[in-house]
Amino acid sequence: MAPNFRIIASKNGNAFHLELIGDFDGTSAFELINVLKECPADNSKIFIHSGGLENVFPFGKNLFFKMLVPIDGRPSRIVFTEDEALALSSGIPS
């Protein structure tokens, strides 16, 4: 994992919030996928707040989306927010 990457997780009602902080690389992608695997299936939405990211590396982004589809057949329940949202969410298949 990028030495300065961390995830702060919280739950608010039926929504799960993940705040990403630091640099997003390949190892960070694995860490985020592992956290998503632990999210209860009954959560209606998972919000990934990316405003705390400093750098989104292409390899990390690509790896994240390759691993995301098999664990969550409904990527529409994942909502990206803030500054790096476009950079991260552009890999979600329709």
Q: Which has the higher per-residue pLDDT, 91 or 28?
A: 28
User: For residue 66, what pLDDT is reported?
Assistant: 85
- pTM across the whole model: 0.80
Structural domain includes residue 94: no
Structural domain includes residue 14: yes
Structural domain includes residue 1: no
Query: Terminal CA-to-CA distance of the chain, rounded, Å?
Result: 28
Average pLDDT over residues 26-39: 90
Domain with 64, as residue range(s), is 6-89
User: For residue 93, what pLDDT is reported?
Assistant: 46
How many domains is the chain built from? 1
Structural domain includes residue 53: yes
Structural domain includes residue 45: yes
What is the spatial distance between Cα 88 and Cα 24, in angstroms, rounded to a whole number?
10
